[in-house]
Amino acid sequence: MSSPQTMEQWQALRDSLSIEGRAFINGKYQTAQSGEFFDCISPIDGTVLCNVASCDKSDADLAVANARSTFESGVWSQLPPAKRKRAVIRFAGLLEENADELALLEALDMGKPISDSHTIDVPASANALRWSGEAIDKLYDEIAPTDPTEIGMVTREPVGVVAAIVPWNFPLMMACWKLGPALASGNSVVLKPSEKSPLTAIRVAQLAIEAGIPAGVLNVLPGFGHTVGEALALHMDVDTIVFTGSTKIAKQLMIYAGQSNMKRVWLEAGGKSPNIVFADAPDLDAAAESAAAAIAFNQGEVCIAGSRLLVESSIKDTFVKKVAEALKTWRPGHPLDPQTNVGALVDQHQLKTVLDYIDNGKKAGAT
C-alpha cells in the first residue's frame, strides 16, 4: 500500500490511528504506578491526542529492576552477536515498514512537516539502528602486545542498564541514536522521551518486541524531567546515562551521577552555531540558501541551528538581501500538508520564547 500523498489522505490516516500513551515496561504497556497522566496536546490545533502516563520514581524503580533482571539473565546481553544483529536490523526494518504511522505521530506530536518526518526523520532513525546492527559483528576485540609468557585481552562488554533521556525536537531520531549502540552492545535500556513529544518512543517499544528483542531489554517511561528523569539519573542501579538536550540539564545530570553511583554520563548539550560567509565565497546564492535552511529547517528547533550569521562587511547588504529572498521559500503551513516546509512550534512555551526573541529584536532596532 502506497503512502498518503495529500493532506486529506494524511488526515484520513490520522482519523484511523489508535494512539498509545502508556509506559512500556518488561514488554507490556501499562499505566503509571500512581495512575497519573498528562494530556498530549498537538501543536497543530491544540487537540488532545491521548493521555500519557506520567511516570515517577516508582516507575523508574520498576523499569530499572526489570532491565537489570533481563540483563543479568543473559537473554540479550549474552545472545550470540549474529542473533543480536538480526534483531536490531529487523527493528530498523520495522521502522521503515511502519513509516507512515511513525511519521504521522511525529508530525501530530511535535508539529514538524509530514514531508520531513516521512522522508528525513523515519529513514534516518532506521539507518541509525541498522548501522549499529551491522557493526555488531564487525567491531573486534583486541589482544594487547605483552610478554610471550602472558596474554592480555581487551574486550568490549555491555555496561548493563542504560538510561537514555532524549529531547523533543527530533524525538524518534534522537532515541534511535541512543538505542542503536546501546542495544547492539547487549545492554538493557530505559528510554525517557520528552514530555513534549513522547509518542513515537512509546510506539517503537512494541516494534522492538516484534523484531525479536526480548521483553525487558527496552523500556519506555514517559514523564517529566524533574520526576522520572531525575529518578533515573539518581538511580543506584543505572550504569550509564546518555542524554541530548540543554546545557543546563546536562550539567545537572553530571551532578546527579556524582550524587549517586558515579554512573558514566554521555552528554550532547545544545549549542547554536554561526554561519560564516566571506566575500570570496564562490556561490553567494548557494550560501544564502544554506543560511536560510540552517535557521528555518524544523521550524528552527534544531540544536545546531544557524541562528547567527557572520558576514564579511563588503558583502553584507547584498548577502542579507539574498538570505531574505531565500527565506521566502520557507513558508509556514499545516504540518500534514506535504507542501509545507515550516510546521508548528512544539508548544505554547516555545511559541512564547520565539515571540519574545522577535520582540527583543524589534526593540533593539531590527527590521
Residue 323: its pLDDT value, please?
Answer: 97
Q: Distance between CA atoms of 162 and 188, rounded to whole angstroms? A: 6
Q: For 321-348, how does the pLDDT look when each residue is reduced to its tens digit (9 = 90+)?
A: 999 999 999 999 999 999 999 999 999 9
Is position 303 annotated as part of the catalytic site? yes
Position 160 pLDDT exceeds 90: yes
Per the prediction, the chain carries an average pLDDT of 96
CB 194 within 8 A of CB 167: yes
Q: Is residue 367 predicted with pLDDT exceeding 90?
A: no
- 54 within 8 A of 21, measured Cβ to Cβ: no
Name all domains of the chain by residue range, CATH numbers in brackets. 7-139+155-269 (3.40.605.10), 274-363 (3.40.309.10)
Candidates 36, 97, 268, 289; catalytic one: 268
**Mean pLDDT (whole number) for 164-168:** 97
Crossing angle for the helix pair 199-210 and 99-110, nearest 10 degrees?
160
**Would you say residue 272 has pLDDT above 80?**
no
> 115-132: per-residue pLDDT in tens?
999 999 999 999 999 999
Residue range 59-78: mean pLDDT, rounded: 98
* 153's grid cell: 585481552
| Average pLDDT estimate for 140-152 | 94
User: What single-letter amino acid sits at 145?
Assistant: P
Q: Answer yes or no: are the C-beta atoms of 277 and 284 closer than 8 Å.
A: yes
Which one is catalytic: 40, 303, 312, 325?
A: 303
As to burial, measured by CB atoms within 10 angstroms (0-12 exposed, 13-18 middle, 19+ buried), residue 209 is middle
For residue 81, give the nearest of 138, 134, 137 by alpha carbon: 137
- Position 271 scores a pLDDT of 75
pLDDT digits 0-9 by tens, 212-221:
999 999 999 9
Q: Is 40 a catalytic residue?
A: no
> Model's pTM, two decimal places?
0.94
pLDDT, tens digit, 9 for 90 and up, residues 171-227: 999 999 999 999 999 999 999 999 999 999 999 999 999 999 999 999 999 999 999
Neighbours of 77 (CB within 10 A): 19
The whole-angstrom distance between residue 345's C-alpha and the CA centroid of its chain comes to: 16
CA gap 249, 175 in Å, rounded = 17
Radius of gyration of the chain (CA): 22
